[in-house]
Amino acid sequence: EAGVTQFPSHSVIEKGQTVTLRCDPISGHDNLYWYRRVMGKEIKFLLHFVKESKQDESGMPNNRFLAERTGGTYSTLKVQPAELEDSGVYFCASSQDAGGYEQYFGPGTRLTVT
């Protein structure tokens, strides 16, 4: 069984540019989560999809962030325009259980905004 995959693994962009991150969850996992970790700090919740619907997007920092999940399969997270404080590692996770008690994480995308 393939794990959660994320693309790209690294991205370096300039302030004001746009970046789109992609996540492919484990096949059959209806629940998909996005998180961000800034160096040394907590893994911060961004949002939660159940299939193609946003269950909870209370962690999204502002309207520069847009997440979609096409057909309930892969998900994208777009940052437009990027700001310096958006730098960090963006993790995607998926789970079978609705409570998210056991989540499977992808390797993350390290985003650097210069």
Partner 1 sequence: GQSLEQPSEVTAVEGAIVQINCTYQTSGFYGLSWYQQHDGGAPTFLSYNALDGLEETGRFSSFLSRSDSYGYLLLQELQMKDSASYFCAAHTGGFKTIFGAGTRLFVKA
CB atoms within 10 A of CB 81: 14
Contacts to partner 1 from residues 49-68, by CB under 8 A: 55-56, 58-59
Instruction: Assess contact for 60 and 86: CB atoms under 8 A.
Output: no
* Closest CB 66 distance from partner 1, rounded Å: 20
Q: Which residue from 13, 26, 45, 52 is in contact with partner 1, where contact means CB under 8 A?
A: 45
Contacts 24+ apart (CB under 8 A), 45-50: 46/77, 46/90, 48/100, 49/75, 50/98
| Binding piece for partner 1, criterion CB under 8 A, among 13-21, 61-69, 75-83, 96-104 | 96-104
**What is the C-alpha to C-alpha distance for residues 105 and 112, in angstroms, rounded to an integer?**
20
Instruction: Please give the structure tokens belonging to residue 44.
Output: 């911060």
Nearer to partner 1, 10 or 15 (CB): 10
**What is the C-alpha to C-alpha distance for residues 43 and 57, in angstroms, rounded to an integer?**
15
Nearer to partner 1, 17 or 44 (CB): 44
Nearer to partner 1, 12 or 98 (CB): 98
Q: Which positions touch partner 1 (CB under 8 A)?
A: 3-4, 31, 33, 35, 40-45, 48, 55-56, 58-59, 91, 93, 98-108
